[in-house]
């Protein structure tokens, strides 16, 4: 009788957990799909003759109110940040949200949205090697194999794109986007202790708000601020879409997904993002879809999944 009660209790616990897993998976799916449109929107913006600094500033202007609200809600009832915490938040905002975004936007001027998204998928491997180099963290054999497979996929897609366009242009684009991935990886590597003290939502809200301010300062150093009001109307609407659907929505949904299903499963589900970007790039931007792109994408996604699996088994 006691055993039957225990089994019933276990089954009830599973029934309670299962909806959380489903909700978490759905949230991460939404985050992957919405974020995958970021590169598409930026490429469409370039079609109206604006530059990366302008697109970044507009995205940040429309995203700022949402991130300020996020920071205000998450800071309510919490103790004030110390001076050291503020320095950490500012550093996270600069590396993880301003610099990473700026480099990424510039890179998209030279390469397809598909290749850009695949390069950004390499972030877990960059975090690993930064941790190995600076923090002496160990690297498993499976992680090395997964990394090699994913980088081989990037080389396949890069080779196809370089052959179809200017080789130097493709190399410049990959260099900028890879630098963006490094910048965001530094944010991920250094944010661990700050997240524990500040809280994930509070950190993201404050750090992204600071990044928005930096982006506007950057714009004012390049162009007069009043120029922001003279851009084509289509660019304004694209920037609103970028700030809401492809910035605020994935930030919130991914954060909520991690709370429900953990970072390992989140990383695996996020691998659908590049596939959506490739499909959207072919559909909306008429980007080429060749055997090289499909094989390269398969190598990248497969390598990162192997890498993630090896990381969770350590």
CA angle 256, 308, 95 (to 5 degrees): 60
Nearest of 99, 28, 74, 77 to residue 195 by alpha carbon: 74
Q: pTM for this one? A: 0.90
- Of the candidates 235, 174, 196, 233, the residue with the CA atom closest to the CA atom of residue 51: 235
More confident residue, 5 or 180: 180
Mean pLDDT taken over the chain = 89
C-alpha to C-alpha distance for 163 and 215, rounded to whole angstroms: 34
Rounded to a whole number, what is the distance in angstroms from the first to the last CA of the chain? 39
Query: For residues 245 and 308, what is the distance between their CA atoms, to the nearest angstrom?
Result: 27
For the segment 50-108, what is each residue's pLDDT rounded down to a tens digit?
999 999 999 999 999 999 999 999 999 888 999 999 999 999 999 999 999 999 999 99
Interatomic CA distance for residues 219 and 75, integer angstroms? 29
Q: Rounded distance, CA 34 to CA 292, Å? A: 25
**Token pair of 102, please?**
């700026």
> For the chain, which residues make up each domain, given as ranges?
36-312
169 CB contacts (<8 Å, ≥6 apart)? 110, 111
How many angstroms separate the CA atoms of 22 and 45, rounded?
35
Q: Which of 231, 245, 307 is nearest to 49 (CA)?
A: 231
Structure tokens belonging to residue 279: 């499909």
**pLDDT for the residue 58:** 97
Say what the pLDDT of residue 270 is: 84
Give me the count of residues in the chain.
314
């Amino acid at each position: 009788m006691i055993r039957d009660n225990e089994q019933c209790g276990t089954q009830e616990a599973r029934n309670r957990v299962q909806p959380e897993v489903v909700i978490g998976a759905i949230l991460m799916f939404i985050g992957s799909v919405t974020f995958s449109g970021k590169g598409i929107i930026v490429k469409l913006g370039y079609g109206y003759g604006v530059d990366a600094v302008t697109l970044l500033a507009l995205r940040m202007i429309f995203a700022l109110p949402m991130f300020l609200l996020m920071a205000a809600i998450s800071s309510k009832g919490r103790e004030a940040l110390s001076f050291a915490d503020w320095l950490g938040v500012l550093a996270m905002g600069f590396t993880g949200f301003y610099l990473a975004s700026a480099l990424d936007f510039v890179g998209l001027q030279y390469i397809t949205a598909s290749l850009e998204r695949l390069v950004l998928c390499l972030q877990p491997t960059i975090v690993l090697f930064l941790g190995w180099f600076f923090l002496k963290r160990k690297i498993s054999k499976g992680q090395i194999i997964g990394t090699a497979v994913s980088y081989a996929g990037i080389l396949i897609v890069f080779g196809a794109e370089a052959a179809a366009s200017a080789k130097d242009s493709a190399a410049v684009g990959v260099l900028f986007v890879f630098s963006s991935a490094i910048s965001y990886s530094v944010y991920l590597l250094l944010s661990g202790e700050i997240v524990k003290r500040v809280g994930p939502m509070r950190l993201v809200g404050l750090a992204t708000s600071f990044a928005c301010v930096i982006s506007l300062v950057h714009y004012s150093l390049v162009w007069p601020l009043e120029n922001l009001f003279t851009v084509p109307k289509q660019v304004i609407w694209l920037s609103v879409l970028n700030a809401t659907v492809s910035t605020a929505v994935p930030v919130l949904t991914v954060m909520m997904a991690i709370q429900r299903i953990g970072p390992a499963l989140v990383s695996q589900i996020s691998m659908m993002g590049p596939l959506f970007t490739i499909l959207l790039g072919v559909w909306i931007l008429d980007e080429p879809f060749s055997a090289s792109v499909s094989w390269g994408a398969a190598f990248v996604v497969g390598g990162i999944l192997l890498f993630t699996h090896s990381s969770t088994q350590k």
